[in-house]
Amino acid sequence: MQRFSVVLFLFALSLQSCDSFTALGVLGLRCAFKVRVVNFSKTKEKWSEEACRDFGSRVKKFGIELEEVTLKPAPGPPKRTVIQQREEEGKELLSRVDVGREKLIVLDERGDIMTSHEFADYLKKCADDGDRGVTFAIGGANGHSEEVQQTARRQGKMISFGKMVMNHQVARVVLFEQLYRAMTIQHSVPYHK
Amino acid sequence: MQRFSVVLFLFALSLQSCDSFTALGVLGLRCAFKVRVVNFSKTKEKWSEEACRDFGSRVKKFGIELEEVTLKPAPGPPKRTVIQQREEEGKELLSRVDVGREKLIVLDERGDIMTSHEFADYLKKCADDGDRGVTFAIGGANGHSEEVQQTARRQGKMISFGKMVMNHQVARVVLFEQLYRAMTIQHSVPYHK
């Protein structure tokens, strides 16, 4: 009876929040893998919203918990230097990342250029390693701070969609499509270009 | 008088069509640089249309003559083999390229991965070399034929936006944004991410 109560307690705990990853682990259950996309922007184009909603809803069908967080860009020149702007945005970003329990994947043109299959494999590895999820960070107008880059190198990855600079509206569409493509690769679902 | 008539004749010829590049050259005039984007698709997403219209109108402000051509995909398996499909689409594409007077730029994940600055410089070089324009080819569901790839290697370039496979709706948005970015780089116009 006591053992049943413990299990029940753990189960109740797990229902409360997906943070109770350990509790769920005991029960042999796992929360949905969380994918958070953080970007810094004042405005969003309608077309970009529509594309991300479309690919996002397809990603969710694979049981992924997908969330997008849009943060206000920090003031830049002439009020602050570019470095100060990056650092401020970096701190705001890192305060939202549960380092140690999830990976930080920073999109940066100096990052590793991966194929869609490598990207799908990396996400699978994160889930297999027991990570609760991943946070993707799309840099502000002046890129990522040194602290963000170091955290990603230590506890995640810096990846690149190529060497070209993309505006963040385009970058998020590319990311959302790659997330969907990764799911189709992982689950062997046909997906045409 | 005779000389004036010749000039007048050449000028009339140049007005008739921008194909009269030589005539315009004699007069020290040049047609607008033409950028043609060819893709194979049955449908187009609304968001992709909207994004391309937005970036396209910004590109045109720099005096570029921008045109998009959407071709019907050739039948694929089981009616034809993938190779036959590629070849048929390739012939259709190449019939629209004025090889020798314009460059063929093929988007393919095996192509050269360029930075935005290298891309801008390459387009500038095409114009400086006297090319009438460039045709960008976004491959169909099964990519480009051997003939298209060889033509691009000989009379243009194979470029890549990275190693990831993108669907053509996303690829055209990335291309249109890079075209706009290239114009801002060439004309030193500030453009934020």
Q: Could you tell me if the ipTM is greater than 0.90?
A: no
Q: Which residue has the higher pLDDT, A51 or B3?
A: A51
Calpha distance B115→B135 (Å, rounded): 19
Count the neighbouring beta carbons within 10 Å of the beta carbon of residue B151: 20
Q: Nearest CB to B177: which of A139, A170, A178? A: A170
DSSP per position, A106-174 = EEEEEEEE--HHHHHHHHHHHHHTT--EEEEEE-BTTB--HHHHHHHHHSEEEEES-SS---HHHHHHH
Asked if the Cβ–Cβ distance from A170 to B163 is below 8 Å, we say no
A32-186 under CATH 3.40.1280.10, yes or no: yes
Calpha distance B136→B141 (Å, rounded): 16
Q: Does B186 touch chain A (CB under 8 A)?
A: no
Calpha distance B78→B173 (Å, rounded): 31
Question: Would you write out chain B's pLDDT as a tens digit for each of its 193 residues?
Answer: 555 555 555 444 444 444 444 444 444 445 789 999 999 998 889 999 999 999 999 999 999 999 999 999 999 999 999 999 999 999 999 999 998 899 999 999 889 999 999 999 999 999 999 999 999 999 888 899 999 999 999 999 999 999 999 999 999 999 999 999 999 999 999 985 5
**Domain extents for chain B?**
1-31, 32-186
Amino acid at B116: S
Calpha distance A88→B35 (Å, rounded): 41
Q: Which tokens is B98 given?
A: 């004025």
In what order do the strands lie in the sheet containing B65-71? B65-71, B34-40, B133-138, B102-113, B156-160
Q: Which of B92, B82, B102 is nearest to B156 (CA)?
A: B102
How far away is chain A from the Cα of B85, in angstroms, using its nearest Cα?
14
Residue of chain A nearest B170, judged by CA positions: A174
Residue A45's alpha-carbon distances to A48, A50, A135, A170, B50, in angstroms, are 5, 9, 22, 10, 10
The pLDDT tens digits for A128-182 are 999 999 999 998 888 999 999 999 999 999 999 999 999 999 999 999 999 999 9
Q: Nearest CB to B170: which of A109, A118, A173? A: A173
Asked if the Cβ–Cβ distance from A164 to B54 is below 8 Å, we say no
Which secondary-structure segment (H or E) carries B70? Answer: strand B65-71
The pLDDT tens digits for A25-47 are 444 445 789 999 999 998 889 99
